[in-house]
């Protein structure tokens, strides 16, 4: 397995607009890196350039320090796993996995050995003689993964591998892929628009938007310390609550919450950092409390519950406060229902701050309040 490095990689399809712009990124050996973002963000173009399916407009791609930018896909030893499985339905599980070896003229004994290793790794032994058309979607995708691995590639590329599966199969297969990643020490790149999928499977996530890398880091780092407003709103099971605030004197005045303000120093800006005139404050729905926090201070908002959704072990509340709308996720039972007047406590230690002009994080230190 190879270490993959992208150096200032750009892609343009018309010679003018850039689908991918100045992408610097690395995937160390044995790591799964997820390329995550909405449709049109550049993640699929990046995957195709790494795989050698599409040319690089400028920049370089290195495998283990070797420049492979001008090599085609055959010269890079990259295997692909697609969302639609791309199997031969009339062939058995064994024949599908063995196919890339047979077309390369690998001796039968070697084919049998390598298929056997992959089958054991993926738990497909009971399905070896079955035609793949008779298998479940999850089993077919495992066969597709086996066909990729049997080639002993330098890099495995997963292109939306779970998109065609139902919810139960997705949970099972993403766990299997994660186990396989660890057991086999794969170097792999996962392309997905599903942040839950990326958070569950990847060692690191590269978030892209409009062809530009927004942030790369562990799932926990992206959740806890988003680099900008886009990442903050994109990462997390539910969208972050945002509030516009204007600085007047030594306080932030929340525009949609008349009479609500916060001392500037409570945001704990890094030393030497001048407070911008306007900021966007953010807090995740799961971090809003109905009771004051046991430690530290909180910004308290008062409002009326517009709706409550019962979601098993948690309740989702929609609250109107001033001209703002808050989304809360609380352990069930939350003890509030539509029409109730409640206090919402926003722990300062959980607040995120972003420069309203640039969208960039203010790199807030949580002040000991």
- pLDDT tens digits in sequence order for the chain, 369 residues long: 789 999 999 999 988 899 999 999 999 999 999 999 999 999 999 999 999 999 999 999 999 999 999 999 888 999 999 888 788 999 999 999 999 999 999 999 999 999 999 998 888 889 999 999 999 888 898 899 999 999 889 999 999 888 878 888 888 888 888 888 888 888 999 999 999 999 999 999 999 999 999 999 999 999 999 999 999 999 988 889 999 999 998 898 999 998 899 888 877 677 777 788 999 999 999 999 999 888 778 999 999 999 999 888 999 999 999 999 999 999 988 889 999 999 999 999 999 999 999 999 987 644 433
Structure tokens at 122: 């993926």
Question: Which residues have C-beta within 8 Å of that of residue 198, sequence separation ≥ 6?
Answer: 34, 36, 190, 192, 205, 219
- Environment class of 194 (CB within 10 Å of its CB; exposed 0-12, middle 13-18, buried 19+): middle
C-alpha distances out from residue 299 to 5, 261, 286, 347, Å = 44, 8, 15, 6
* pTM confidence score: 0.89
Rounded Cα distance between 104 and 87, Å, is: 18
Instruction: Name the phi and psi angles at 289, rounded to 5.
Output: -115, 155
Rounded Cα distance between 32 and 150, Å, is: 18
- What single-letter DSSP state applies at residue 275? P
Q: What is the dihedral of CA 368, 363, 303, 324, to 10 degrees?
A: 160
């Amino acid at each position: 397995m190879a270490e993959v490095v992208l150096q200032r990689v750009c892609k343009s399809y018309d010679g003018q607009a850039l689908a991918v712009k100045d992408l610097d990124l690395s995937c160390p050996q044995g790591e799964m890196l997820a390329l995550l973002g909405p449709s049109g963000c550049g993640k699929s173009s990046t995957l195709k350039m790494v795989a050698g399916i599409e040319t690089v407009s400028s920049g370089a791609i290195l495998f283990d320090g070797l420049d492979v930018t001008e090599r085609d896909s055959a010269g890079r030893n990259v295997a692909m796993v697609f969302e639609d499985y791309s199997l031969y339905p009339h062939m058995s599980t064994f024949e599908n996995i063995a196919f890339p070896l047979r077309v390369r003229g690998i001796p039968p004994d070697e084919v049998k050995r390598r298929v056997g290793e992959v089958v054991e790794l993926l738990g497909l032994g009971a399905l070896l003689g079955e035609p793949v058309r008779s298998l479940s979607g999850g089993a077919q995708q495992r066969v597709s993964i086996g066909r990729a691995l049997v080639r002993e590639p330098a890099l495995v590329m997963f292109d939306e591998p779970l998109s065609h599966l139902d919810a139960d199969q997705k949970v099972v297969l993403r766990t299997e892929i994660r186990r396989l990643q660890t057991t086999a020490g794969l170097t792999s790149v996962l392309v997905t628009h599903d942040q839950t999928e990326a958070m569950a499977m990847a060692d690191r996530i590269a978030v892209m938007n409009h062809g530009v890398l927004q942030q790369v880091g562990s799932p926990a780092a992206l959740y806890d310390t988003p680099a900008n407003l886009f990442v903050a709103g994109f990462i997390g099971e539910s969208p972050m609550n945002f509030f516009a605030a204007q600085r007047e004197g030594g306080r932030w005045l929340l525009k949609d919450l008349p009479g609500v303000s916060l001392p500037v120093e409570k945001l704990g800006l890094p030393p030497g950092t001048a407070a911008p005139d306007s900021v966007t404050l953010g807090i995740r729905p799961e971090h809003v409390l109905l009771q004051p926090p046991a430690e530290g201070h909180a910004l308290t908002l008062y409002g009326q519950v517009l709706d409550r959704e019962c979601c098993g072990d948690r309740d989702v509340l929609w609250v109107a406060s001033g001209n703002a709308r808050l989304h809360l996720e609380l352990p069930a039972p939350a003890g509030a229902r539509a029409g109730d007047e409640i206090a919402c406590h926003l722990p300062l230690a959980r607040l995120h701050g972003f420069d309203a002009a640039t969208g960039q994080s203010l790199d807030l230190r949580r002040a000991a309040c």
